[in-house]
Structure 1
Amino acid sequence: MQLHDPARRGFASDNYSGVHAEVLAAIAAANDGHQSSYGNDAYTARLQQVVQGHFGDRAEAFPMFNGTGANVTALQSVLPRWGAVVCAKTAHINVDEGGAPEKVGGLKLYAVPTPDGKLTPELLDVEAFGFDDEHRAQPLAVSITQSTELGTLYSPDEIAALAAHAHELGMTVHLDGARLSNAAAALGVPFAAFTTDAGVDLLTLGGTKNGALGAEAIVALDPDKAAGLRFLRKTNMQLASKMRFLSAQLIALYEGDLWLRNAGHANAMAARLRSSLEGVPGVEFTQPTQANGVFVRLPAGVADAVREQFFFYDWDGAAREVRWMCSFDTAEEDVDAFAALIRQASGG
């Protein structure tokens, strides 16, 4: 029984999209017969090989249910109880995870304001101080997001410079990769170019926003720095008993080029949306459109008028700034119809 209108489209989030048909087929294929539980199955073993093909022979994958659980568990695994994390003020761990890193993970977050969602070595130093001061939570990790919450991208060189500086300070580098595929597709480089090769220590590998039913993974690029992951995953209630179904989804995405096809299409739709509205009176883009997100300031009343047909979120309501996200299943006709409504409502 279908309870929604499948013709209803929106630009609120890439979480609004469905599951890619190839991922559904992979789940169905994994469903026959019996397999060992808690990761002792053929699919999770195969996932390790797939992940190592992208990130290097030392990489180790830990499938998880969701991104928040993956981020919290990853950061816990590399920090002592007195540890703190430096992140951008707009970071998902700071803004959109309900305080889980601090409440569940017991981690202090030092959030640094940035103009574009990106940290630099100089911005890291804003909070990376007070080492050995017993009155200050110790900034022992830095967490960055690729692509960022503002839709911007770090270049491989930018991540390498930040990671090198963090390591000089004795800090571990975590990367929130909920939209890692969108970043790689936009940059046109392999994952390793801006992760393993750039000095990242561990990352969250996204699946749900790029066509999975609900599957993420922590990837320890240096397993020696995250030795507790095997135990923390269970402690944090992220150990799947039927893990083969998480692993099968990630294999479907990352063994071939499905991740690239999906992310590349979402990026292309965001670029199409932006180009369709450039020059429209009163429509002001507030960030570069580098992946699958478009950030824009609209004339008064336009957002609410258009939202009646295509839902999306306010990013900064006081500034009339909104966020539009494109997905693997966003169609050209969706973009064109949406852009036409924006132009009409804006008088352009």
Structure 2
Amino acid sequence: MQHFASDNYAPVHPEVMAAIIAANDGAAVSYGDDPVSVRLQERATEVFGEHARIFPVLNGTGANVISLMATTPRWGGVIASDVAHVHTDENGAPERVGGLKILAAPSVEGRIGPDAVDRYAGDLGNAHRAQPAVLSLTQVTELGTVYSPADLKLLADTAHSVGLRVHVDGSRLANAAATLGVGLREITSDVGVDIVSLGAAKNGGMLGEAVVVLADGAAGSGGSGGAAAGLAEAVPYLRKATMQLASKTRFVSAQLLALLGEPGTPTSGTGEGAPLWLRNAAHSNAMAARLRAGVEAAELTEIVRITCPTDANVVFATLPRPAADRLRAHARFYDWAPGETPDRVEVRWMCAWNTTEADVDGFVRALSDVL
């Protein structure tokens, strides 16, 4: 059976698997003091900037919780969209584990604007309210949309102007960069992001993500000073305390290094010369675009209604519930939300690095058949 349910369903990319096997060579110092992790740190400065510090962790929820704990005091709050993964899909981990308060702001197609900061900035200094300390943005958003560099710069500047840090939940950061035609640095360090949860598993990895500390100054300082060294100093302790420190870190680092590229190799590019993260993300994005185009070309849009922009590797649509149920005999996918009427449902069709043109075309034919 084909899958269009999640990019988490995809297998490990062969280049990532080869890197894991290569790392499995003799003994190596544990907890990140191994040669692979050292090379990963060197590569992080090439990809994200000279101040970047990278900390491999076990999963995305852990990366988010550590990032938010590092940027937020015990009495603090996290401004995020009302559909943010940290708010809706992590079983309250930021609250339960981190002791934080999620301050949800209304989103439009998954994105929030500077008004999200303005909405809570008035609570600063009010002992009766959780104190907003960090703005958390999801890139790609939960609805498959992308923040432009200009959007991110405006949001970061707004957050910094009132003393907030900026976190990016980048489980699909690679897909956003591929869509925008930029490197990872251009949508993180260069626009004022302080800390990133860097995804790997959804883009060809086996397991493991990373926390990447980017800034080297206090919130709103524009990257000067030394206060942000506190973030990099805090993360190792938080990583251990939240059970996200792998003893054999080299095997997580090897995956990240395979995706980002070895030190000295290109950080962007096209074709086979591009780093693996970009090749994988560009392909999965292209398959989602092909899927949407196939639905539109089949003249199904009177019955199948695309509900969100297809900026990255996911298509959202509504269709009759019976048709969706019949289609699941051909491919697995998830319901997302109720449709416009009780007899319809909104679904999510996700493409991955290993989705083929034949997979997409077969899915479109099956959709035509069930309708």
TM-score range, shorter chain: over 0.9
TM-score scaled to structure 1, two decimals? 0.96
Q: Equivalent of 2:229, from 218, 224, 229?
A: 224
| Match in the other structure for 2:304 | 283
Q: Tell me the alpha carbon deviations over residues 13-53 of structure 1, each in whole angstroms, 9 at most, x when there is no partner.
A: 00001100111110000001010000010011000111111
Q: Equivalent of 2:79, from 83, 86, 98?
A: 86
Aligned residue for 1:109, secondary structure, equals strand
Moved more, 252-261 or 73-82: 252-261
- Counterpart-to-counterpart distance in 2, 1:219 and 1:190: 15
- Counterpart-to-counterpart distance in 2, 1:129 and 1:106: 22
What letter corresponds to residue 289 of structure 2 in structure 1? Answer: A
Q: Tell me the alpha carbon deviations over residues 141-162 of structure 1, each in whole angstroms, 9 at most, x when there is no partner.
A: 1100111110000000000000
1:113 CA displacement: 1.8
1:86/1:128 contact within 8 Å kept: no
2:291/2:364 contact within 8 Å kept: yes
| Match in the other structure for 1:45 | 38
| Match in the other structure for 1:242 | 248
1:201/1:225 contact within 8 Å kept: no
Q: Does 1:345 align with 2:370?
A: yes
| Match in the other structure for 1:313 | 334
Structure 1: 5+ residue stretches without partners: 1-7
Q: Equivalent of 2:89, from 78, 82, 96?
A: 96
Q: Equivalent of 1:266, from 272, 281, 284?
A: 284
- Counterpart-to-counterpart distance in 1, 2:365 and 2:106: 35
1:317 CA displacement: 3.1
| Match in the other structure for 2:23 | 30
- Counterpart-to-counterpart distance in 2, 1:10 and 1:126: 40
1:225 CA displacement: 4.6
2:2/2:359 contact within 8 Å kept: yes
| Match in the other structure for 1:3 | none
Structure 1 pair 335–127 and aligned structure 2 pair: CA distance change class (3 A): same
- State the aligned residue count: 339
What letter corresponds to residue 278 of structure 2 in structure 1? Answer: L
Q: Tell me the alpha carbon deviations over residues 99-155 of structure 1, each in whole angstroms, 9 at most, x when there is no partner.
A: 000011100001112121111102332233211000000011110011111000000
1:318 CA displacement: 4.7
Q: Percent identity?
A: 51
| Match in the other structure for 2:316 | 295
- Counterpart-to-counterpart distance in 1, 2:321 and 2:63: 39
- Counterpart-to-counterpart distance in 2, 1:45 and 1:20: 22
Q: Does 1:322 align with 2:347?
A: yes
| Match in the other structure for 2:269 | none
2:80/2:137 contact within 8 Å kept: yes
Moved more, 153-162 or 301-310: 301-310
- Counterpart-to-counterpart distance in 2, 1:311 and 1:326: 12
Could you say what the CA RMSD is over the residues aligned between the two structures, in angstroms?
1.0
Q: Does 1:118 align with 2:118?
A: no
1:163/1:173 contact within 8 Å kept: yes
Aligned residue for 1:127, secondary structure, equals helix
| Match in the other structure for 1:172 | 165
